[in-house]
Chains A and B, each alone.
Chain A
Amino acid sequence: MTSSDQQEDSNLSEVNGLAIINSKAPFSSNYGKDALDVALIFGSFEQKVSLFFQGDGVYQLIANQDASLVSIKDYLKTFSAFEFYDIEDIYVCQQSLVNRQLDEAFHIDDVQVLASVEFGKALNRHQHVLRF
């Protein structure tokens, strides 16, 4: 085994779990709900899962939205259950917020706002990635 192989192995030993990237706005499609269902299943099977919000996906975290106004069942309310599923690593892309002139006012606590490079590094710590 070469030293570069060992280096790679030690990097791999630090990565684990599933990262779910949310990239779509909440009410125009079912993507957000589909991602939520996957996150909760992994949580209930006690598998490590982290959530990433990027692009229009950041709209899923914005406070004071009322899905009932557009006749949609508000799956965003379920985000408050993340702590019961031990989903603690929730990251949002700062640049995506800035581009949309959104404040860091989220409807759940403990969301970590990360600059693009840090966002990428956090993503890179995961073995698997699913994008919705």
Chain B
Amino acid sequence: MKTLAVVVTTPPYSHLTITALTYVETALAAGINVIGVFFYQDGAMHANENISIASDEYQAIAHWQRLNQQYQLPLHICITAAEMRGIACDSIDNEQINEAFTVSGLGELVELTTKATRLVQF
């Protein structure tokens, strides 16, 4: 079975993230096996529970959370990228990290890449 892995490097307030979300949701709705999304560089900011975007604008984080719940889509953040952007990753029950996201390292990116038929970066 063909599998898809996605890398997101854009922050939650970037319009490019909307493209990534639309792409992933369309793939999931089409029954494609999306084995995970890896958030690297500014993408790691998605896991920051304290980010607040004006309510009349696109809520990227809420949409990732919805896809995580609806499709059990794994969302991995790079710990190094997250920590240098002010997201403390030292404890598991950290209230600063959105619960839909899993704190991972670049090793997870290796794992996703080797398992995926195709890797798509945003």
Determine the residue in chain A with the shortest Cβ distance to B84.
A30
Given that A30-B41, A131-B121 are contacting pairs, would A18 and B106 also be in contact in the complex, using a CB cutoff of 8 Å?
Answer: no
The residue that B106 contacts in the complex, of A38, A128, A131, with Cβ under 8 A, is A38
Question: Which positions in B face A, CB cutoff 8 Å?
Answer: 7, 40-41, 80-81, 105-107, 109-110, 113-114, 116, 118-119, 121
CA A29 – CA B25 in complex, angstroms? 31
Mark out the residues of chain A between 43 and 98 whose CB falls within 8 Å of any chain B CB in the assembled complex.
Answer: 45, 47
Given A41-B110, A130-B7, 7 more pairs with CB closer than 8 A:
A18-B113, A18-B119, A34-B40, A34-B81, A41-B109, A45-B110, A128-B118
Residues of B near A18 (CB, < 8 A) are: 113, 119
Contact partners of A129 in chain B: CB under 8 A: 119, 121
Q: How far is the CB of B43 from chain A (nearest CB, A)?
A: 11
Give CA–CA (A13, B81) in the complex, Å: 34
Residues of A within 8 A of B81 (CB): 34
A130–B107 Cα distance when bound, in Å, is 15
